[in-house]
Amino acid sequence: MTVTTGVPTLVPGRTGAYLPFVVGAALVVVMAVLPLLNISIPGILPGATYTPGSLALLSLCMVFAALALSYNLLLGTSGMLSFGHALYFGVGAYGLGLALKFFGVPLWPGALIALLGGLAIAAFTGAISMRVSGIPFAMVTLAFAQAGSVLVRRNQDVTGGEEGLRLPVDQVPSWLVGVSNTRNLYWVTLCVLVVVYLVVLWVDRSRLGHLAQAVRENELRVQVLGLRPYTAKLLVFILAALCASLAGIAYMLLQSGTQPSTVGADLTITVLVMVVLGGVGFRWGAIVGGVLYTILDQRLTVLARAEWIRDLPDVLRIPLSEPLFLLGVLFILVVMFLPGGIAGTIDAAVRRRRGERTRSQLRQIDDADENVAEPAGVRA
């Protein structure tokens, strides 16, 4: 005899699986039409969303969000702590400028040359760095980044030295040059962010990404199974470097130039803070961390020059006038009270709520089954 309790069966719906993609596509559409709208966010954007200043800030946010995504592919997916990831960001920026300057090619072939340069350097440095792991790996990547920074700073005739390298605008289409075309640059950076996200998503869901995650958890077990952890880590390293180079190309176009700071380890530490702030291992967390850090860095610099801060006592005026101090305090607070970052904290809360809901439904089923009385002598 079949007994119907009236309690809904716990069958996971398929709608939830597509919800992240629907939300992501909707956000991309909103970001695409944002330059056409007149929206003001006081304290965050310097003006309305259609003004060049706000578009430039939003574009910079997307560039660093793409860079944070590429670093999350290293740290979150593969568990590789690198202190030299900014090297490939600088290779993309400087590679584009040098290709346009010395080869005289148009923009898109120059961008391809920059990506090929990033691929070659990533394969060379990654093959050497992968020989070690853990802290030694971080130190080797740091050494490569510092070497790249020295080469950039010492070659005045080629890279511009300490003054940086200006973008040769003669080889760049006119619709991507000048303040009046900031809207077009905004859309280019949005495309770069979407491409980087899709690459990271593909890696995370591919066999390569699953193998890299297994290596992160237990590399020895992967070796015992007869797989090749070195190859998986190297491929992820190269793909992350290519994404960083693509972000560097967008940065070069947006800023109409680049500086030696885009190659050094300081930028890698900044990107690490972005990823930890957003949540290690979460793609959308890396985007949130990159956007939030960039906005805070830009707006706190403006805040530091405010007149009311100058009138404060020295004990308050000095720290409040240093944006890096405020960002450092924010990072400490996040690590102490939100150890999983913004995305990790939200994800834990959602999982906890789903677990409570599931346990509640199971209790309802148990209670309903206990209330069903079977007639004597009748087999269920």
Half-sphere exposure of 206 (CA within 13 A, CB side): 13
What is the span of the domain harbouring residue 63? 55-365
> Residue 96 falls within a domain, yes or no?
yes
- The yes-or-no verdict on residue 6 having pLDDT over 50 is no
CA torsion sign for 21, 27, 30, 35 is negative
Write the burial class of residue 81 (CB in 10 Å: 0-12 exposed, 13-18 middle, 19+ buried). Answer: middle
* Weakest mean pLDDT among 119-128, 270-279, 309-318: 309-318
Cβ pair 126, 238 in contact under 8 A: yes
Q: Write the CATH number for 361.
A: 1.10.3470
| 267/265: higher pLDDT | 267
Give the ranges where 34-100 is alpha helix by DSSP (H).
52-72, 86-98
Residue 15 within any structural domain of the chain: no
User: Token pair of 167, please?
Assistant: 């973008």
Question: CB under 8 Å to 117, separation ≥6 — which residues?
Answer: 91, 95, 245
Higher pLDDT, 9 or 124: 124
Q: Would you say residue 232 lies in a domain?
A: yes
Is there a domain that residue 272 lies in? yes
Whether pTM > 0.85 for this model: the answer is yes
Q: Is 359 contained in some domain?
A: yes
The total number of structural domains in the chain stands at: 1
Confidence of residue 375 (pLDDT cuts 50, 70, 90): low
What is the model's pLDDT at position 245? Answer: 96
In a domain, 1, yes or no: no
What confidence score (pLDDT) does residue 288 get? 93
Tell whether 244 is covered by a domain.
yes
How confident is the model at residue 289, as a pLDDT? Answer: 93
Tokens of 45: 């954007």
Look up residue 351 and give its two tokens: 């999982």
pLDDT digit string, tens, across residues 96-115: 999 999 998 999 999 999 99
pLDDT tens per residue, range 336-362: 888 888 888 888 888 888 887 888 777
